């Protein structure tokens, strides 16, 4: 299972507490993880990626295994530790606004 940690407001929207666990078919990439997340929680569509371009919203970041994956290709494989569930994939709201 893939573990995903969402920011507070998205957890509220999706009515989840703590981590989300997702079953994701190979290959495990940022795109397939986010696709699976949106399939499970349709109310999150458009909140992480732009509806039209499917690009990451500019005020969000993607982290895993102490790496910033925000600017990596969405189709690159995620680290093995994420793919095997040892480490979570984090969607993080950028610190902005003071």
Partner 1 sequence: MEAGELCQQAKLYKLDKGTRMSEVRVLVGTKKGGFVLTSDGKREKWAIDGPHFAGMPIYHMKASPVDPNRIYASQTSDWFGQVLQRSDDGGKTWAPVGNKFVYEGTPGTHEWYDGTPHPWEFKRVWHLEPSLTDADTVYAGVEDAAIFKSVDGGQNWQELPGLREHSTGSRWQPGAGGLGLHTILLDPTNPKRIYIAISAAGAFRTDDGGDTWRPINKGLRSQYIPDPAAEVGHCVHRIALHPSRPDVLFMQKHWDVMRSDNAGDEWREVSGNLPTDFGFPIDVHAHEPETIYVVPIKSDSEHYPIGGQLRVYRSRTGGNEWEPLTNGLPQSDCYVNVLRDAMAVDSLDSCGIYFGTTGGQVYASPDAGDHWAAIVRDLPAVYSVEVQTLS
| Residues within the interface to partner 1 (CB under 8 A) | 7-10, 12-13, 43, 45-48, 50-52, 57-60, 93-94, 96
Identity of the residue, 11 or 77, whose beta carbon is nearer to partner 1 in the bound complex: 11
Nearest approach in angstroms of CB 77 to partner 1 is: 27
Burial environment of residue 63 by CB neighbours within 10 A (0 to 12, 13 to 18, 19 or more): middle
Exposure of 26 in the CB half-sphere (CA atoms within 13 A)? 2
**Bridge partner residues of 4 (DSSP):** 20, 89
Nearest approach in angstroms of CB 47 to partner 1 is: 4
Residue among 46, 31, 16 nearest 76 (CA): 31
Nearest approach in angstroms of CB 27 to partner 1 is: 27
Identity of the residue, 60 or 65, whose beta carbon is nearer to partner 1 in the bound complex: 60
CA-based Rg of the chain, rounded to a whole angstrom?
12
Identity of the residue, 50 or 76, whose beta carbon is nearer to partner 1 in the bound complex: 50
């Amino acid at each position: 299972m893939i573990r995903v940690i969402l920011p507070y407001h998205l957890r509220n929207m999706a009515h989840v507490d703590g981590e989300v666990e997702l079953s994701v078919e190979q290959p495990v990439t940022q795109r397939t993880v986010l696709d699976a997340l949106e399939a499970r929680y349709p109310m999150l569509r458009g909140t992480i990626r732009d509806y039209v371009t499917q690009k990451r919203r500019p005020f969000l970041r993607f982290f895993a295994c102490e790496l910033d994956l925000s600017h990596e290709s969405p189709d690159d494989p995620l680290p093995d530790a994420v793919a095997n569930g040892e480490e979570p994939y984090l969607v993080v709201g950028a610190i902005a606004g003071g």
